[in-house]
Structures are given as C-alpha cells and as structure tokens.
C-alpha cells in the first residue's frame, strides 16, 4: 500500500478522508458524500473513485457514549477481525480495502445503498417476503460458526444479565414514562427490571449461538446480483439464544411483515437451526426477546425524537404493536411478566408531539 501523506489537523474531514483513500488505493477520489447514519454516533461516507473499484464506503468510529451501554462494560470491539472471520466462513460481508485503526477508519467495499427495508418498500408483498426469506437463510449459517482461535471477540461476548438490565432501565426511563405520562415510581421501575431479569434467567439457560446482534433490514444491503444480500454493522456480534437474530428481522420495526409470514418463517428456520429448539421453548424465547429488544428500540426511538431526529416517529406504532402482542402472549407465564404486561399495554399507539 502507498504511504499516507501527512494530514493537516484543520482540513475538513471529507477532504482528509479523500486524500487518505486516494493514497491507499492509488486511485483519484472524485467525490466524498456523507451517508445518513442511524441512531448511533458512527459516521459514513461514500467515496467516488476515478478507477476500479469505482466507489468505496468509509466507516469512521467515534468515541462511544458511555450512557449507551451497560455500566462497567467495555465498548463494542472493532470491525476486525470479525469481518474477516465471516468472510473466511463464506458469509456475505463487504471486503476490506484499507484501514487506519489509529483514526478508527475502515475503507470497505461499497455493497450499494439499497437496504432490505428500502428494497421491500418497492416490491410486492410476495416479492418482499421472498427477499426476507433469503435473509433469514443466513441465520442457521451464522449459528453454525465456531471459534477458530483467530481472536474474534464475539465468542467471548454474550447477551448477559447486564445487557438485559440496561434495556430494562432504558425502557423504564423513556417508554414507561410515556405510558404513564409521568416519571415512573420506584416500584414501577422495579417491575420492569424484575421482568427483564426473569427473561435474562430464561435466556441464560438456552443454547448460546453466534448472532449478528443487529440483524435487521437496515443492516442487510441488497445487491442487483449475487450475493444478493450483504451484512453490515458486524462489530457487535456475540453469543445469544438461537431466536435472537430471528427476532431482530422478523420483529423489525422498519418492515411491515404479516403475522402469518412471521409464524411460518420462524417455524421454517427453527427446524434448520443447529439446536432446532423445541417449538414451545422457541416460541416463548422468541416473545421474551421481542419484549426486551423492542422495549429497547422503543426507548431509543423516543430518545432520538426528543433530540430532534423525527425519522423514527413513524416506526413507533409498529414497535408498540409488537410489544403489546408479546406482552399479551406471555403475561400468564410468570408474575413478573404479568406486571410487565400491565405496563406495556398502557403504551399509547402514537406518542405526543414532544415526548
């Protein structure tokens, strides 16, 4: 690779990035375009190149907000080596073109700008469901992965009690306050924490398999040719119950999936999983993980809206409906879940204008 020329500290980020990428790739950069980011703090740019490969995507890490993770836990690992591990394993992930770990920059293959969510919006329901099914076929492949000793942090990380407690506290502080139209009492917050702790115990007894962790439509890029789908945002991978990634996609707030399709596909994939969990255990954990993941998503959407990012407002009704459905189906399972259901069912379908 070409050496990197010195970069003046005052140069704008896009300019610095373009000059660095040109030096790394030996190809002139004709344009650097910001890519709209999601809820997180990471920044992305698309670089237009004057020669092959034509374009690339720069992914820039930023210091993580400690409030965005459980107290006492380490930040997410870097993208490498999990990306390389998945690539070696034959999973569809972007190629790495260059990197500057000291600045938190990864220059990756440009898989395209159309997410699974975007693609489904322009397809018939049957065509969209067929594409979602193809994405779901990746889940058993992910769950068959085993540690190869290359230092992939995902095999030492798991969906643990601390993560469930973080989700509980986030849901109580944001979503529960909306449901009650006031700050929750200590007893009400405890009710949420107790329910999520109960769920954590159930999930700790489940098989633990490799999970993408954020296997949702925004992190699946649709290509015009094979491989049809490419997974991005890989660094958060960890070990989790077999249902986790299925919940991420089949209970995706950004997709309008019919309930019969969700049931049929979850059963199809259940039988293809390496553990093939019994149907009753699978169904229960699927709903319990829906409560905790959608509870976290609901709270994060409210947080984004409160800071002026109104893009997520339209996804709240669907998220609320998923929470209510899971609460109804599990309320008779245990006393903590019954109390949680009372609180979840109080969530309004639409938030007030200024949550």
Q: Running along the chain, 355 residues long, what does each successive block of 10 average in pLDDT? A: 36 87 96 84 92 95 62 79 98 97 93 95 96 98 97 97 96 90 92 98 98 97 92 97 98 97 98 96 98 96 89 93 97 98 90 53
Q: Quote the pLDDT of residue 7.
A: 34
Q: Quote the pLDDT of residue 1.
A: 34
CA pair distance 39, 303, nearest whole angstrom: 9
DSSP string, 73-135: PPPPPPSTTHHHHHHHTT---PPEEEEEGGGTEEEEE---S-BHHHHHHTS-HHHHHHHHHHH
Query: In the structure, how many helices (H) and strands (E) does the chain have?
Result: 13, 9
CA pair distance 206, 160, nearest whole angstrom: 12
Sign of CA dihedral 167, 153, 116, 110: positive
Query: Are the C-beta atoms of 115 and 99 separated by less than 8 Å?
Result: no
> Inter-axis angle of helices 335-344 and 316-330, to 10 degrees?
150
CA pair distance 109, 274, nearest whole angstrom: 31
CA pair distance 342, 227, nearest whole angstrom: 45
Q: Quote the pLDDT of residue 155.
A: 98
Beta bridge partners of 210: 239
Greatest alpha-carbon pair distance for the chain in Å reads 64
Q: Quote the pLDDT of residue 354.
A: 45
Q: Quote the pLDDT of residue 65.
A: 52
285: nearest Cα among 343, 207, 339? 207
CA pair distance 216, 204, nearest whole angstrom: 23
- Strand duo 220-222 + 229-231: pairing: antiparallel
Q: What tokens appear for 208 in the block? A: 């633990």
CA pair distance 146, 167, nearest whole angstrom: 28
Q: Quote the pLDDT of residue 172.
A: 95
Q: Phi first, then psi: give them for residue 131, nearest 5 degrees.
A: -70, -40
CA pair distance 32, 35, nearest whole angstrom: 10
Enumerate domains of the chain plus CATH numbers.
1-110 (3.30.200), 111-355 (3.90.1200.10)
Beta bridge partners of 49: 29
Whether the full predicted model's pTM is greater than 0.75, yes or no, is yes
CB within 8 Å of 145: residues ≥ 6 apart: 85, 86, 89, 210
CA pair distance 95, 25, nearest whole angstrom: 14
CA pair distance 318, 340, nearest whole angstrom: 19
């Amino acid at each position: 690779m070409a050496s990197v020329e010195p970069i003046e500290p005052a140069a704008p980020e896009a300019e610095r990035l373009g000059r660095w990428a040109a030096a790394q790739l030996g190809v002139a950069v004709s344009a650097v375009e910001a890519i709209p980011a999601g809820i997180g703090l990471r920044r992305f740019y698309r670089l237009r190149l004057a020669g092959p490969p034509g374009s690339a995507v720069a992914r820039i890490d930023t210091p993580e907000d400690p409030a965005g993770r459980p107290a006492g836990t380490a930040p997410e690992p870097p993208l490498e080596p999990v990306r390389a591990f998945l690539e070696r394993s034959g999973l569809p992930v972007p190629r790495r073109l260059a990197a500057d770990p000291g600045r938190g920059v990864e220059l990756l293959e440009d898989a395209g700008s159309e997410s699974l969510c975007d693609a489904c919006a322009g397809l018939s329901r049957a065509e969209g469901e067929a594409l979602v099914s193809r994405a779901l076929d990746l889940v058993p492949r992910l769950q068959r992965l085993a540690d190869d000793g290359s230092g992939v942090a995902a095999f030492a990380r798991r969906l643990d009690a601390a993560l469930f407690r973080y989700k509980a506290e986030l849901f109580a502080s944001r979503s529960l306050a909306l449901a009650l139209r006031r700050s929750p009492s200590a007893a009400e917050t405890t009710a949420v924490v107790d329910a999520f702790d109960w769920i954590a115990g159930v999930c700790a007894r489940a098989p633990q398999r490799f999970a993408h962790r954020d296997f949702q439509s925004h992190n699946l890029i649709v290509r015009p040719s094979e491989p049809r789908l490419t997974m991005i945002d890989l660094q958060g991978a960890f070990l989790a119950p077999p249902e986790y990634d299925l919940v991420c996609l089949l209970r995706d707030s950004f997709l309008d999936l019919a309930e019969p399709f969700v049931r049929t596909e979850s059963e199809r994939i259940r039988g293809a999983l390496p553990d093939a969990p019994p149907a009753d255990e699978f169904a229960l954990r699927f709903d319990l993980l829906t409560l905790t993941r959608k509870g976290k998503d609901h709270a994060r959407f409210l947080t984004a809206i409160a800071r002026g990012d109104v893009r997520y407002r339209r996804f709240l009704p669907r998220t609320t409906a998923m929470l209510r459905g899971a609460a109804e189906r599990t309320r008779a399972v245990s006393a903590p879940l019954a109390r949680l259901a009372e609180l979840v069912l109080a969530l309004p379908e639409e938030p007030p204008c200024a949550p």
